[in-house]
Amino acid sequence: MNLSKSLFVRGVKCAKSLWLYKNSDIPRDEPDQGQEARFESGRMVGDLAKRLFPGGKEVAFDPENFKGMISQTRKWLDAGVDTIYEATVSARGDFAMADILKRDGDGWEIYEVKASTSVKDYHILDVAFQYRAFSNFGLRIKRAFIIHIDNSYVRKGELDIKGLFAIKDVTHEVVSKQGEIEDYRQKFSTMLKGDMPQVDIGPHCFNFYDCDYMSWCWRNVPERSIFNLYRLTQAKKFELYQEGILKISDIPEDFRPNAIQALQIETEKTGSVHVDRKKIRQFLSRLSYPIHFFDFETFNEPIPRFDGQRPYMHIPFQYSLHILYEDGNLEHREFLADENEDPRNHVISHMLKDIRPQGSIVAFNKGFEEGIIKGLADYDPLRKNELLSLLERFEDLMEPFRNGGYYHPEFNGSLSLKSVLPAIFPDDKTLDYNGLEIRNGGMAMDTFATLHLIKDREEREKIRNALLEYCRLDTLALLRLYEFLCKVAGL
């Protein structure tokens, strides 16, 4: 049985997943844009980490010719090369690549690079598998390490590679896992010769990463199921599932839901909307004109590009602002930063100019916007007070939904803007994100983070327009929800 390290981890996660991969032609779910972006930033982090050990030789990745990669590795080992990037070996059916293989006297050290900010359990499994493959290939592996991002690093001037990365010695954990690896291997070998293992869906579907067979294994789970119950823990969801309860309408009387879950169950059973005018009015009465409907877009990246930036810090690069005046006039303001420079200074200047001196600032899930403003205040001590003074004017448009003022069965247990909006305005094409090129905040984030890498000016301009269109719809959506709530409350 031949196994790569990723197939090995797949098998540990779920035997059925490995069996399907090896023995069936059931299509796997394609990675979405967010996953692709994570793979890409993982590759960038991997390349950068090689600079911790300069002067090495790299084995070029060729998915069509693994044998060639192995023989190139062998040649460099024989030639006495001290550091090899993407060293590739195969031994006793195990196939493994090491991000960095470094000579240490009469033996070798393995370094595995991860774009995460800590070492996860499955990283250890990953390296333990590599340790076994490289040892069986005939190398004496003296130590094994995981290199990961150190999120306490703050860039000042030139990127400090040593400051950006943390290196953790995992030799002890990796060596102690060798028996387990062998047991798994034997189990997989027998399992793969038999019929598909009867593994039901469970928490393991989300272990390490979301399984790419979910479309197939979860095909009998209805769109509105107990797995969509608002903020129910995963353990409780699977408890219900094990009791044979799948539909929300089948939840037994003795289940003790929280307030929103209770509304979800009730509206699912009755098919009608829940409205509490008093709660909606209470919220609306706090708003004062001019009402600012405000939304930030941010990016976060593992490798800081600007001074004062930490890995994965949310940096705002864009906002949209609809301002509703008491006389009914509406104004739209927006800002999208230059993709080639630190956007924060310009975001602050434009925002402080665009926001009127009085009136509520309404965001959806305001904690996010407030957090960004606090970050901007830390970044710019001279305008700190002005920025922080905005915080007391923030109101959260999610509140009347979160406190049970309004619940629609089509929310399906999610109070995000992207769930609430289509439920309330199902036929309004002007509020439909599906027609847009950029359809959610994750896409906006990934798009802007890589925009500076696109050489073609026209292409960049096209993408910038798509970003503006997306963010504008976000605050238009807030305005429409506000108008809707006013109507429901009879105001």
418 makes contact with ligand SF4 (CB under 6 A): no
Residue among 3, 7, 9, 17 that touches ligand SF4 (CB under 6 A): 17
**Is residue 7 close enough to count as binding ligand SF4 by CB under 6 A?**
no
Work out how close the CB of 440 gets to ligand SF4 at its nearest, in angstroms, rounded to a whole number.
Answer: 24
Nearer to ligand SF4, 32 or 62 (CB): 32
- Considering only 98, 124, 139, 201, the residue that binds ligand SF4 (CB under 6 A) is 201
Instruction: Say whether residue 397 binds ligand SF4 (CB under 6 A).
Output: no
Instruction: Find, among 15, 27, 26, the residue nearest to 193 by Cα.
Output: 15
Q: Which CB, 126 or 295, lies closer to ligand SF4? A: 126
By CB under 6 A, tell whether 322 contacts ligand SF4: no
**HEC string of the chain?**
CCEEHHHHHHHHHCHHHHHHHHHCCCCCCCCCHHHHHHHHHHHHHHHHHHHHCCCCEECCCCCCCHHHHHHHHHHHHHCCCCEEEEEEEEECCEEEEEEEEEEECCEEEEEEECCCCCCCHHHHHHHHHHHHHHHHCCCCEEEEEEEEECCCCCCCCCCCHHHHEEEEECHHHHHHCHHHHHHHHHHHHHHHHCCCCCCCCCHHHHCCCCCCCHHHHCCCCCCCEHHHCCCCCHHHHHHHHHCCCCEHHHCCCCCCCCHHHHHHHHHHHHCCCEECHHHHHHHHHCCCCCEEEEEEEEECCCCCCCCCCCCCCCEEEEEEEEEECCCCCEEEEEEECCCCCCCHHHHHHHHHHHCCCCCCEEECCHHHHHHHHHHHHHHCHHHHHHHHHHHCCEEECCHHHHCCCEECHHHCCCCCHHHHHHHHCCCCHHHCHHHCCCCCHHHHHHHHHHHCCCCCHHHHHHHHHHHHHHHHHHHHHHHHHHHHHHHHCCC
Closest separation in Å from C-beta 238 to ligand SF4:
12
Which CB atom, from 188 or from 317, has the smaller least distance to ligand SF4?
188
Give the separation between CA 5 and CA 18, rounded to whole angstroms. 12
Q: Which of 9, 14, 373, 471 binds ligand SF4 (CB under 6 A)?
A: 14
Decide if residue 391 touches ligand SF4 (CB under 6 A).
no
CA angle, residues 337, 342, 345, in degrees to nearest 5: 75
The type of residue at 254 is D
Residue type, 182: E
Tell the smallest beta-carbon distance from residue 195 to ligand SF4 (Å).
14
**Packing angle between helix 366-379 and helix 344-354, nearest 10 degrees?**
120
Taking the complex as a whole, how short is the minimal distance between the CB of residue 63 and ligand SF4, in angstroms?
23
User: Residue 12 Cβ, how far from ligand SF4 at the closest point, in Å?
Assistant: 11
Q: Is residue 211 at the binding interface for ligand SF4, with CB under 6 A as the rule?
A: yes
In the complex, what is the shortest distance from the CB of residue 192 to ligand SF4, in angstroms, rounded to a whole number?
Answer: 14
Residues in contact with ligand SF4, shown as a per-residue x/- string from 160 to 199 under the rule CB under 6 A? ---------------------------------------x
Among the residue ranges 14-22, 63-71, 135-143, 245-253, the one whose residues contact ligand SF4 (CB under 6 A):
14-22
State the minimum distance, in angstroms, from the CB of residue 35 to ligand SF4. Answer: 15
Q: Does 9 bind ligand SF4 (CB under 6 A)?
A: no
Query: How many Cβ atoms are within 10 Å of 18's Cβ, its own excluded?
Result: 22
- For residue 18, the minimal CB distance to ligand SF4 (Å) is 8
Classify residue 413 as left (phi > 0), alpha (psi -120 to 50) or beta. left
Q: Does 283 bind ligand SF4 (CB under 6 A)?
A: no
Is 16 one of the binding residues for ligand SF4 (CB under 6 A)?
yes
Residue with Cβ nearer ligand SF4 (30 or 253): 30
Q: Say which residue the tokens 């060729």 belong to.
A: 62
Q: Which of 142, 168, 204, 460 binds ligand SF4 (CB under 6 A)?
A: 204
Binding of residue 10 to ligand SF4 (CB under 6 A): no
Q: Does 217 help bind ligand SF4 (rule: CB under 6 A)?
A: yes
Nearer to ligand SF4, 20 or 251 (CB): 20
Q: Is 205 in the site for ligand SF4 (CB under 6 A)?
A: yes
Question: Does residue number 225 form part of the binding site for ligand SF4 (CB under 6 A)?
Answer: no
We find the least distance from the C-beta atom of residue 174 to ligand SF4, in angstroms, to be: 25
Question: Minimal distance in Å, beta carbon 419 to ligand SF4?
Answer: 23
> Could you tell me how many residues of this chain bind ligand SF4 (CB under 6 A)?
12
Pick 195 or 253: Cβ nearer ligand SF4: 195
Stretch that binds ligand SF4, among 208-216, 285-293, 369-377, 439-447 (CB under 6 A): 208-216
Shortest separation between residue 129's beta carbon and ligand SF4, angstroms: 19
Structure tokens at 265: 């169950």
Identify which range of 95-103, 125-133, 206-214, 265-273 contacts ligand SF4 by CB under 6 A.
206-214
Contacts of 256 (CB under 8 A, 6+ apart): none
**Where do contacts with ligand SF4 occur on this chain (CB under 6 A)?**
14, 16-17, 20, 199, 201, 204-205, 211, 213-214, 217
